[in-house]
């Protein structure tokens, strides 16, 4: 099992390293709650979310829900947060059928992106 997990992490790291992040304008920070529906658990979805958030300098967290969805709160520049959502919808190893979006108040002095 340990070798399988190691191989899986190498696979994810390889694919995440291929993500090319465009230049983004400086825009106002926002915080958004996303709920991703579809085949989003057991495919490395939260791990990818956290790594792409790191690449985009976003903060927040992501967690699996009992109903099979993934809930995430993402904070950063509006354009970067929207790019994150589009990237995750296009993820080939997952199958996102819908995304609920809800604006939230900013969390001051938040740092990093956690996986719950």
Residue 46 is among the residues annotated as catalytic for this protein: yes
Crossing angle (nearest 10°) for helices 45-55 and 78-89: 150
20 in catalytic set: no
Catalytic residue from among 42, 64, 86, 92? 64
User: Are the C-beta atoms of residues 52 and 1 closer than 8 Å to each other?
Assistant: no
Question: In the numeric block, which tokens belong to residue 51?
Answer: 């790594």
Name the strand (E) or helix (H) holding 48: helix 45-55
Which of the following is catalytic: 2, 20, 46, 93?
Answer: 46
Known catalytic residues are 46, 64
């Amino acid at each position: 099992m340990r070798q399988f997990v190691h191989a899986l992490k190498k696979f994810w790291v390889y694919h995440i390293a291929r993500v090319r992040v465009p230049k983004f304008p400086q825009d106002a920070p926002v915080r958004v709650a996303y709920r991703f529906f579809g085949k989003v658990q057991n495919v490395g979805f939260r791990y990818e979310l956290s790594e792409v958030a790191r690449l985009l300098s976003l903060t927040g967290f992501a967690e699996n829900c009992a109903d099979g969805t993934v809930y995430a709160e993402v904070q950063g520049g509006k354009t970067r947060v929207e790019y994150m959502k589009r990237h995750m919808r296009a993820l080939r190893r997952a199958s996102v059928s819908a995304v609920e979006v809800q604006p939230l108040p900013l969390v001051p002095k938040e740092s990093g992106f956690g996986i719950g």
